[in-house]
Structure 1
Amino acid sequence: MGSTAATQRRAGGRPVRRLAGVAVLAALSLVAAPGLAAAAPVNPSDAQIDAAQQQTQTAAQQVDAITAALAGAQASVDSAREQSAIALDDYQGKQADYEAAQVTADAATEAADAAARDLADARAALVSFARQSYQQGSTSPALEALTTADGPAQMLERAALLEAAGAHHGDVVVQVTTAEEQARAAQDEARAALAQAAALKQDAEDALQIAEQYEASARAQAADLADQQTAMEQQLAQAQQSLQGLKDARAEAERYAAEQAAAARAAAAKAEAERTAAAQRVAAAAAAAPAPRAGTQQAAVRAPAAAAPVRVAGAGDSSAVETAIAAAREQIGVIYSWGGGSLSGPSMGWGIDAGIVGFDCSGLTRYAYAQAGVSIPRNSSAQYRSLPKVSRSDLQRGDLVFWATDTSNASTIHHVAIYLGNDRILEAPQSGSRIRETSMRWGGFIGGARPTA
Structure 2
Amino acid sequence: MGTTATTQRRTGGRPARRLAGVAVAAVLSLVAAPGIAAAAPTNPSDAQIDAAQQQTQTAAQQVEAITAALAGAQASVDSAREESAIALDAFQGKQAEHEAAQVVADAATAAAAAAARDLEVARADVVSFARQSYQQGSTSPTLEALTTADGPAQMLERAALLEAAGAHQGDVVVRVTTAEEQARAAQEQAAAALADAAALEEEAAAALAVAEQYERDARAQAAALADQQAAVQQQLAQAQQSLQGLQAARAEAERFAAEQAAAAAAAAARAESERAAAAQRAATTPATTTPAPRATTQPVVRAPAATTPARPVPAAGAANGSAVETAIAAAREQLGVIYSWGGGSLTGPSMGWGIDAGIVGFDCSGLTRYAYAQAGISIPRNSSAQYKALPKVSRADLQRGDLVFWATNTSNASTIHHVAIYLGNDRILEAPQSGSRIRETSMRWGGFIGGARPSA
- Measured after TM superposition, the shift of residue 99 of structure 1 is 1.2
- Measured after TM superposition, the shift of residue 193 of structure 1 is 1.5
For the aligned residues, what is the CA RMSD?
Answer: 3.3
Quote the residue 2:251 is aligned against.
251
Residues of 2 paired with 1:18 and 1:143: CA distance? 177
Residues of 2 paired with 1:113 and 1:240: CA distance? 80
Quote the residue 1:55 is aligned against.
55
- Measured after TM superposition, the shift of residue 89 of structure 1 is 1.4
Residues of 2 paired with 1:232 and 1:88: CA distance? 35
Q: 1:134 to 1:252 in 2, by over 3 A?
A: same
Quote the residue 1:172 is aligned against.
172
- Measured after TM superposition, the shift of residue 44 of structure 1 is 0.9
Does residue 190 of structure 2 align to residue 187 of structure 1? no
What does residue range 79-158 of structure 1 map to in structure 2 within 5 Å? Answer: 79-158=79-158
Residues of 2 paired with 1:181 and 1:79: CA distance? 55
What does residue range 20-419 of structure 1 map to in structure 2 within 5 Å? Answer: 25-26=21-22, 29-30=25-26, 32-34=28-30, 36-38=34-36, 39-277=39-277, 280=280
Identity of aligned residues (%): 75
CA displacement, residues 373-401 of structure 1 (integer Å, 9 cap, x when unaligned): xxxxxxxxxxxxxxxxxxxxxxxxxxxxx
- Secondary structure, counterpart of 1:215 in structure 2: helix
TM-score, normalised on structure 2? 0.53
Contact 1:27 1:272 in 2 (8 A): no
- Measured after TM superposition, the shift of residue 238 of structure 1 is 2.7
- Measured after TM superposition, the shift of residue 218 of structure 1 is 2.4
- Secondary structure, counterpart of 2:30 in structure 1: coil
- Measured after TM superposition, the shift of residue 165 of structure 1 is 2.6
Residues of 2 paired with 1:9 and 1:165: CA distance? 180
Q: Which has the larger radius of gyration?
A: 1
- Measured after TM superposition, the shift of residue 210 of structure 1 is 2.3
2:100 maps to amino acid:
A
Residues of 1 paired with 2:97 and 2:47: CA distance? 73
Point out the more displaced range, 74-83 or 22-31. Answer: 22-31
Residues of 2 paired with 1:236 and 1:257: CA distance? 31
- Measured after TM superposition, the shift of residue 94 of structure 1 is 0.8
- Secondary structure, counterpart of 2:41 in structure 1: coil
- Secondary structure, counterpart of 2:268 in structure 1: helix
- Secondary structure, counterpart of 1:167 in structure 2: helix
1:243 maps to amino acid:
L
Residues of 1 paired with 2:116 and 2:48: CA distance? 96
Residues of 1 paired with 2:228 and 2:101: CA distance? 48
CA displacement, residues 210-260 of structure 1 (integer Å, 9 cap, x when unaligned): 223323332333233233333333333332222222122111111111112
CA displacement, residues 143-198 of structure 1 (integer Å, 9 cap, x when unaligned): 32223334323322322332333333334334333333332232222222112111
Note the residue ranges of structure 1 that are not aligned, 5 or more in a row. 286-453
- Secondary structure, counterpart of 1:33 in structure 2: helix
TM-score, normalised on structure 1? 0.54
- Measured after TM superposition, the shift of residue 20 of structure 1 is 9.8
Residues of 2 paired with 1:122 and 1:31: CA distance? 133
Contact 2:24 2:268 in 1 (8 A): no
Quote the residue 1:313 is aligned against.
none
Which 4+ stretches in 1 moved above 6 angstroms?
A: 7-21, 281-285
Residues of 1 paired with 2:220 and 2:214: CA distance? 10
